Amino acid sequence: MPMTHSPEIHAKLIERIPDVTGRGLHEWFEALDEGPGLVRCSDRSNWLADEYGLPRWYAHAIVAEHDRRRRNRSIPAPRRS
């Protein structure tokens, strides 16, 4: 069953990812880019959650943000610290 969040919840999840996971978005985006070539959002979310032990809602938010930024290249990717 697909998981969707309101824009407000999605923004809060994305904001909390570095604190909750110990990794920045750029690291999660790299993991997705280097991971298996799964096409469906749910498959990539499940893989991310299973591979890295993430809660499903955070994995879904990471995948959704990754897809959103790839669709809209005008939004800069997060910079490494």
pLDDT tens-digit profile, the chain (81 residues): 456 678 889 899 999 999 999 999 999 999 999 999 899 999 999 999 999 999 999 999 999 999 988 887 655 666 665
HSE of 20 in the Cβ direction (CA atoms, 13 Å)?
18
Q: E-assigned strands of the chain?
A: none
**Model-level pTM greater than 0.85?**
no
Residue 76 DSSP class: P
Residue 48, classed as helix, strand or coil, is helix
- Kindly give, in sequence order, each residue whose CB lies less than 8 Å from that of residue 46, ignoring residues fewer than 6 positions away: 56, 59
Contact present, 47 and 41 (Cβ < 8 Å): no
In the block, residue with structure tokens 């610290």:
81
